[in-house]
Amino acid sequence: MRKAVHMAVTSVIVGLVVSGCGGGDDGKKESKPSGGATKATQSAQQSPSSGPSARGTIMERSAGSWKSIVAAKSADDLETLTIADGKVTAKGPKLDCTGTLKGGEDEPSLTLSCKGGSDGGRGQGTVGMKGDDALAINWKGPEGGFGGPIDSFRRAG
């Protein structure tokens, strides 16, 4: 029961991150571009031929340092994620993991391996992004189960 509640809360949090709810809104209307990046984003959204390759693939856009949107509550939570050239480093209170990011443009797969053997139910998952500053990992979880955790991050720095 506790795990089901945890997964439901995590799903709601991921939904909020991916839908763009939360900080950084400033009450400004999206229809009033304030700079070149906003104009580029709007033209990429309006032109179907410009698609993901115009902004870069998820693998390209995910490069950098990421911080979890929720404070670590257990030893198996992830706090930070770093992605560079398809190589991934993830750390938490007691997790120290490395892995690789590879695959498709829309949902690349992430394979993670942690020191000490415990990966907190992760191992393999898919990466999704909303814009350039919200990243979520949907972990497959243990074989025969109902899925693993979902980790949500915001770009650090």
Query: Which residue ranges form the domains of the chain, and what is each CATH number?
Result: 2-21+56-155 (2.40.128)
Give the range among 51-60, 80-89, 92-101 with minimum mean pLDDT: 51-60
Q: Across-strand partners of 64?
A: 83
Question: Does position 18 have pLDDT exceeding 50, yes or no?
Answer: no
Nearest Cα to Cα of residue 147 among 15, 4, 1, 13: 4
Residues 6+ apart with CB under 8 A from 75: 92, 93, 94, 95
Question: Does position 54 have pLDDT exceeding 70, yes or no?
Answer: no
Q: What is the pLDDT of residue 121?
A: 82
Question: Does position 10 have pLDDT exceeding 50, yes or no?
Answer: no
